[in-house]
Amino acid sequence: MMSESIISLQNVKKNYRHSDGIQTVLDGVNLNIPQGSVFGIIGHSGAGKSTLLRCINGLEKPTSGNVIFKGHQVNKLDNHQMLKIRSEIGMIFQQFNLLPLYTIAENVALPIKYLHLDRNLVHKKVTKVLSLVGLLNKANDYPSSLSGGQKQRAAIARALISQPKIILCDEATSALDPEITGSIIKLLKKLNQQEGITLVVVTHEMKVIEDLCDYVAVLHDGKIIEKGSVYSTFSNPQKSLTQNFVNTVIHLSIDRKSLDAIKLPEHSKLIKILYKKGTTNVPLISIISRKFNVDVNIILGDVDILQGSPFGGLLVALSGDSQNISHTLAYLKQIKSIGLKVIDND
Ligand SMILES: Nc1ncnc2c1ncn2[C@@H]1O[C@H](COP(=O)(O)OP(=O)(O)OP(=O)(O)O)[C@@H](O)[C@H]1O
Ligand SMILES: [Mg+2]
């Protein structure tokens, strides 16, 4: 059973008025974000991702529909209530948004400045979040002396200072190189697992969804066109846009030139075997070669463990007697735990 939602969007619409008319940026978005989950929202540039996040934290008011945060209707709160809710929602951005003339410690303390807390208490809180993100040694440095990854750690510490229940991440790793991205993803995972913070992760990179998220929703032209657990969505995408995103993380395609270079036997059949949940230790390749007397040539393989199950697949060439190959294909087709795709090789 799904745990309780910390955030729900109910038929959220957002229009912007431009000089040449009205643009619908969010077009009836429904989403339930389970408490304690990492929820990814993927979409191309202009899909409405940032607008969606701004509707969640109350920086934008939906044109119609409701945003519910822990039972409160965010778009109906007065300023005082809004301030309280917003302190429970942290936000991090692609550009870090640190103030250059403040030290890291001062930047981190900014969100609680309005509380006028005792200096020692502020110092204690800042020390705690900076050590949580591994940046204690940079407390008195200025943002300009930090690397991109360190700046994002500082921004995460700033988001943590108000002890948020949820952190909204808007392309938080898009400005970082892959290795640094990995370390920030690890940190975000730790905050989710150890501190129980719900994460809403907006990105255009499927790799981030694969490495970090439990659930994913695909946003296209202001509409959620597909959503579900990361595994079910990755292993069985329903929409072509989702399929395109999935294709960016499984590499099972080969161009004609490379294929010709392999010099497969004539009349070989190229097939993709895609893993689905439940593809366990079936020795598929040896079964088919033995049972149907065909040669199986593994050309490419890309298998990852995703949410505890194998995800990805193999690109293989079958060669031998054409009737045997047909029998092999018929056999593979009826196995429910794999997906089969026959590729035209003529
Ligand atoms: N404040 C605003 N006023 C007018 N139009 C806006 C405003 N904010 C966003 N838009 C328009 O809404 C559309 C969606 O923008 P949004 O920033 O939500 O997309 P996005 O999915 O975050 O894109 P990206 O991946 O490039 O960040 C764009 O066409 C944008 O021009
Ligand atoms: Mg954006």
- Higher pLDDT: 87 or 120? It is 120
Q: Considering only 98-102, 117-121, 228-232, 285-289, which range has the smallest mean pLDDT? A: 285-289
* Percent of all residues in the chain with a pLDDT value above 90, rounded to a whole number: 75
- How many Å lie between the centroid of ligand 1 and the Cα of residue 175? 18
Measured from the alpha carbon of residue 21, the closest ligand is 1
For the segment 9-20, the average pLDDT, to the nearest whole number, is 96
Instruction: Tell whether 237 and 108 lie within a shared domain.
Output: yes
Q: Which of 183, 218, 248 is the last residue of a domain?
A: 248
Most confident of 2-11, 149-158, 251-260: 149-158
Q: Which of 93, 148, 103, 143 is nearest to 126 (CA)?
A: 103
Cα 274 off chain centre by: 21
Measured from the alpha carbon of residue 44, the closest ligand is 1
- Report DSSP letters for 50-67, one per residue: HHHHHHHTTSS--SEEEE
The pLDDT score that the predictor gives to residue 75 is 82
The pLDDT score that the predictor gives to residue 1 is 44
The pLDDT score that the predictor gives to residue 65 is 97
18 CA: nearest ligand 1 atom: 4
Instruction: Tell whether 110 and 237 lie within a shared domain.
Output: yes
User: CATH number for the domain including 235?
Assistant: 3.40.50.300
- Higher pLDDT: 233 or 281? It is 233
Instruction: Tell whether 134 and 274 lie within a shared domain.
Output: no
Assign 338 a pLDDT band (cuts: 50, 70, 90): confident
Assign 121 a pLDDT band (cuts: 50, 70, 90): very high
What domain range is 327 assigned to? 256-342
The pLDDT score that the predictor gives to residue 10 is 97
Write out pLDDT tens, residues 225-274.
999 999 999 988 999 999 999 989 988 888 888 888 888 888 889 999 98
- How many Å lie between the centroid of ligand 1 and the Cα of residue 42? 14
- Higher pLDDT: 152 or 281? It is 152
The pLDDT score that the predictor gives to residue 276 is 79
Instruction: Tell whether 263 and 243 lie within a shared domain.
Output: no
**Closest residue (by CA) to atom 30 of ligand 1?**
46
The pLDDT score that the predictor gives to residue 281 is 60
The chain-wide mean pLDDT, for the chain, equals 92
43 CA: nearest ligand 1 atom: 21
Question: Tell me, what DSSP letter sits at residue 76?
Answer: G
Q: Considering only 2-6, 151-155, 292-296, which range has the smallest mean pLDDT? A: 2-6
Instruction: Tell whether 169 and 295 lie within a shared domain.
Output: no
Give the number of other Cβ atoms within 10 Å of residue 250's Cβ: 21
Instruction: Tell whether 269 and 304 lie within a shared domain.
Output: yes
Instruction: Tell whether 40 and 132 lie within a shared domain.
Output: yes
Q: Which of 248, 279, 299 is the last residue of a domain?
A: 248
The pLDDT score that the predictor gives to residue 345 is 62
- How many Å lie between the centroid of ligand 1 and the Cα of residue 307? 32
User: CATH number for the domain including 268?
Assistant: 3.30.70.260
How many domains does the chain divide into?
2
Q: Which of 213, 248, 283 is the last residue of a domain?
A: 248
Task: Say yes or no to pLDDT of 278 above 70.
Answer: no
Task: Say yes or no to pLDDT of 159 above 50.
Answer: yes
Assign 279 a pLDDT band (cuts: 50, 70, 90): low
For the segment 4-31, the average pLDDT, to the nearest whole number, is 96
239 contact partners, CB below 8 Å, separation of at least 6? 218, 225, 226
- Distance, CA of 217 to CA of 43 (rounded, Å): 9
Q: Which of 46, 137, 149, 151 is nearest to 107 (CA)?
A: 151
Task: Say yes or no to pLDDT of 192 above 90.
Answer: yes
- Distance, CA of 145 to CA of 342 (rounded, Å): 54
Sheet holding 89-93, edge to edge: 89-93, 166-170, 198-203, 38-42, 215-220, 223-229
Instruction: Tell whether 294 and 332 lie within a shared domain.
Output: yes
Ligand 1 pocket, mutate which of 22, 25, 59 (most atoms under 8 A from CB)? 25
For the segment 211-233, the average pLDDT, to the nearest whole number, is 96
Instruction: Tell whether 68 and 132 lie within a shared domain.
Output: yes
Assign 76 a pLDDT band (cuts: 50, 70, 90): confident
- How many Å lie between the centroid of ligand 1 and the Cα of residue 48? 6
The pLDDT score that the predictor gives to residue 258 is 86
47 CA: nearest ligand 1 atom: 21
Burial of 15 (0-12, 13-18, 19+ CB in 10 A): middle
Instruction: Tell whether 93 and 205 lie within a shared domain.
Output: yes
Q: Which residues are near ligand 1 (CB < 6 Å)? A: 16, 25, 43, 45-51, 204
| CB contact at 8 A, 207 and 190 | no
Instruction: Tell whether 243 and 318 lie within a shared domain.
Output: no
Write out pLDDT tens, residues 163-178.
999 999 999 999 999 9
Task: Say yes or no to pLDDT of 67 above 90.
Answer: yes
Instruction: Tell whether 185 and 232 lie within a shared domain.
Output: yes
